[in-house]
Amino acid sequence: MLDDFEMRLNLWHARKNVRDWDAESSHIRCLAHNINLATQAVLGTYSKTPHYDPGSTAPLEPNVDVTHEELMRDVVGIVQCIAVKARSSAKRNALLKELQAKDGVKIPLTLLVDMKVRWSSTYLMLERAYELHKFADQAQQAFSSETEPSLYNGLPALERLHKAWTSRSKKDKYKQYRPALEAGLVKIKDYYDKTSYSHAYTMAMILDPDSKTNYFQKHWGNKLELEIRDNAEKIFEARWKELNEAAEKATITPSALKSRLHDNDSSDEEATPLSGPSTGPSSQPWLKEFKKYIDGDDEREKGQSMVEWWAVNSRRLPTWASLARDYLAIMASSVSSERAFSAAGIMISKCRNRLKADIVEALQVLKYLLQKNLVYCTLPYTSLWEIEQESIEDDDGSPDWVDVVSDDGFSGDDEDAVVL
């Protein structure tokens, strides 16, 4: 589908003076979805019980096969079956809530059923089951922000997850889960290697003023850090020329990300700051601004978001700010777009099937502004007058009441008089 889109877009007559769009290097995969697939690989290897399918009439039974020379209980499958049976019976559901009410729970809870297409649903199901045991995802959340950049968290999160699962798979304590962890590691490595086709991941990390290239120096080594820096300079040079001179293509090599999953143990002592290529300012006029940021000691103030920092420093670093507007706007997860599709699906119902695109767009924007409290209403004149009149006291016959006579001769009995 992307290949067809690439061909049609590049053949479009309106893009004659624009460089061709490349589908492979522009394909940003949903990292939350990648982690979910890896997690499903772990659970699918450990638990053979299928996800609950409301449309299936087959009974849902847990897997209790004997493996690794010992009897293993399919805990996930058992919880799934209990949750399905509890929720499919109104009587059982009511009994569970009644038991919670007797124990003083003001808002009784019910068991949750996991779904294959819903991220973290198995974790939420197990967490709720553990919470309700006496009565009878976190990695993905970092990618789901709608208002803050999230792509810069992608590579570090995948590397930390891979490292954690690798260390546990080597311990005898987790021996029975080793096949499941290895299946998840294969998924993580597969999607991690695909990030090397795009430089958006590394550029998003460089555009974090608190980090820049520090993460690469510490975890990847000086050689790969220098390669990342050289690629960033080529991208910066191309953007500077687009903003200041005629558009010019820059040859950008893919980021060297492959085979880095097992080399994350570099110590702080091994990291040494690198100075960029020294060239005269006349031949490379963009180099001054490039080094001003990449070698600077910039950092965000406490509580300051990345978007706010770039808004403040956009005039000081105009080319870097232009890159920030492009790369930091890339979401690491498709959560926000899928929410928009779901909201549009709710809006365009059978009773509203003749809404046109412009009306749907306006309603979606208005609903978002209302939900985020971004609509500021100014009270009309009559409402302001009524609020002012509420503070005026009526004459109750008290001897302390004083009528103020204004310069134009009107007394306090008049409608517009000032009362003290």
| pLDDT of amino acid 349 | 83
| pLDDT of amino acid 97 | 81
Rounded Cα gap, residues 316 and 300, in angstroms: 15
| pLDDT of amino acid 272 | 43
- What six digits make up the tokens of 297? 């000691």
- What six digits make up the tokens of 15? 């893009």
- CB count within 10 Å of CB 55 equals 4
Residue 251 pairs in a beta bridge with none
Dihedral-angle region of residue 20 (phi above 0 means left; psi in -120 to 50 means alpha; beta otherwise): beta
Amino acid, single-letter form, for residue 303: G
Amino acid, single-letter form, for residue 43: L
Rounded Cα gap, residues 88 and 53, in angstroms: 12
| pLDDT of amino acid 388 | 65
| pLDDT of amino acid 385 | 63
Query: What would the 3-class secondary structure string for the chain be?
Result: CHHHHHHHHHHCHHHCCCCCCCHHHHCCCCHHHHHHHHHHHHHHHHCCCCCCCCCCCCCCCCCCCEECCEECCCHHHHHHHHHHHHHCCHHHHHHHHHHHHHCCCCCCCCCCCCCCCCCCHHHHHHHHHHHCHHHCCHHHHCCCCCCCCCHHHHHHHHHHHHHHHHHHHCCHHHHHHHHHHHHHHHHHHHHHHHHHHCCHHHHHHHCCCCCCCHHHHHHCCHHHHHHHHHHHHHHHHHHHHHHHCCCCCCCCCCCCCCCCCCCCCCCHHHCCCCCCCCCCCCCCCCHHHHHHHHCCCCCCCCCCCHHHHHHHCCCCCHHHHHHHHHHCCCCCCCHHHHHHHHHHHHHCCHHHCCCCHHHHHHHHHHHHHHHCCCCCCCCCHHHHHHHHHHCCCCCCCCCCCCECCCCCCCCCCCCCCCEC
**pLDDT tens per residue across all 420 residues of the chain:** 778 887 888 777 666 777 787 888 888 888 777 777 787 777 677 666 665 555 565 655 555 454 444 435 567 777 777 777 777 778 777 877 877 887 788 888 887 777 766 667 777 777 766 665 555 444 455 566 667 788 888 888 889 888 888 988 898 887 877 888 888 899 889 989 988 889 999 999 999 999 899 999 999 999 999 999 999 999 999 999 988 864 444 445 555 555 556 555 444 444 444 444 444 556 788 899 999 999 998 888 888 889 999 999 999 999 999 999 999 988 888 777 787 888 888 888 888 888 888 998 898 888 888 887 777 666 565 655 666 666 555 556 666 656 555 455 444 444 444 443
